[in-house]
Amino acid sequence: QWCYDSQDPKCGPSHWKELKATCGGDKQSPVNIDRRRLQRDSGLGDILFEGYDQAPPGKWRLANNGHTVVLSLASELASEHITISGGGLPSRYRALQLHFHWGSPAGNGSEHTLDGRQLPMELHIVHINVKYRTLAEAKGHPNGLAVLGFFFQVSETPNANYNTIVAGLRNVSQAGDSVDLASTFRLSTLLPHAGRLSGYYRYQGSLTTPDCSEVVVWTVFEEPVEIGREQLRAFVSTLHFPAAGPTLLKMTNNFRPPQPLRSRKVFASRA
């Protein structure tokens, strides 16, 4: 089984390629975004977010999958109308789930880095190409998935839009736990301010966990989401990795470090 170094360095990211050869491939994620080496692409207009601004018909489900906390819709049908398109994406994509990567009380935990710097936390919204029915099918195609990445910035005041998720963490503190959230909220409320989403980076990469399938069109936004210091602390201190022995291990540093860019280019939507 794979893990993060914070669980056991013997199954951490540097060993993933021994389990799945793809994890040692040439198009792996995350990467460092070196802002001096971007290629501006005027074709990268605004992404069209549909269904992001409506409360979904069903309930949100929060789950601890042993590697992160995942938010998805309790009924998969409910996400049918939450889609992204445009912005140079090769197709329309439907939202599947979102999850986070974070650090520890001592350090930051984003997966992508900006000019070599890690940010406190990163949100990933995973979407599937509407041409494909299942994740397994999408994994067979280079444009099968589109993941949106958002960095977090710590503020002294809480971000009330994250209250429902943060309050739910205590119900999913152990691996395998899941809970249906009582309150409904719109996905757009978890994003940075609408209208500040036109700055983003685009490159072709992979899932950041095994099997590391190289099927992801990545979009990483410039504008960070603000989160309160105490809210961020709730992620670091409430959740646990699967127990390996008698003692519980807090879920911290669940990020993969940047992978070589090799012959790839990172494109920028604006100069």
Catalytic residues: 67, 132
Residue 7 interacting with ligand SG7 (CB under 6 A): no
Closer CB to ligand SG7, 143 or 155, in the complex: 143
Residue 124 interacting with Zn ion (CB under 5 A): yes
Residues 5-24 that bind Zn ion (CB under 5 A): none
List of residues 6+ apart from 237 with CB closer than 8 A? 105, 250
Q: Burial level of 176, CB count in 10 A (0-12/13-18/19+)?
A: exposed
Whether the CB-CB separation of 220 and 112 falls below 8 Å is answered with yes
Candidates 87-95, 119-127, 185-193, 226-234: pick the segment binding Zn ion (CB under 5 A): 119-127
Residue 11 interacting with ligand SG7 (CB under 6 A): no
**Spatial distance between the Cα atoms of 154 and 13, rounded to a whole number of angstroms:** 26
List of residues 6+ apart from 20 with CB closer than 8 A? 210, 211, 212
Residue 256 interacting with Zn ion (CB under 5 A): no
Structure tokens at 48: 């069209």
Residue 239 interacting with ligand SG7 (CB under 6 A): no
Residue 190 interacting with ligand SG7 (CB under 6 A): no
Q: Which does residue 209 touch among Zn ion, ligand SG7, none (CB within 5 to 8 A, set by kind)?
A: ligand SG7
**Spatial distance between the Cα atoms of 248 and 244, rounded to a whole number of angstroms:** 8
| Residues of the shown chain interacting with Zn ion in the complex, contacts defined by CB under 5 A | 124
| Residues of the shown chain interacting with ligand SG7 in the complex, contacts defined by CB under 6 A | 65, 67-68, 70, 97, 99, 124, 126, 135, 147, 207-209
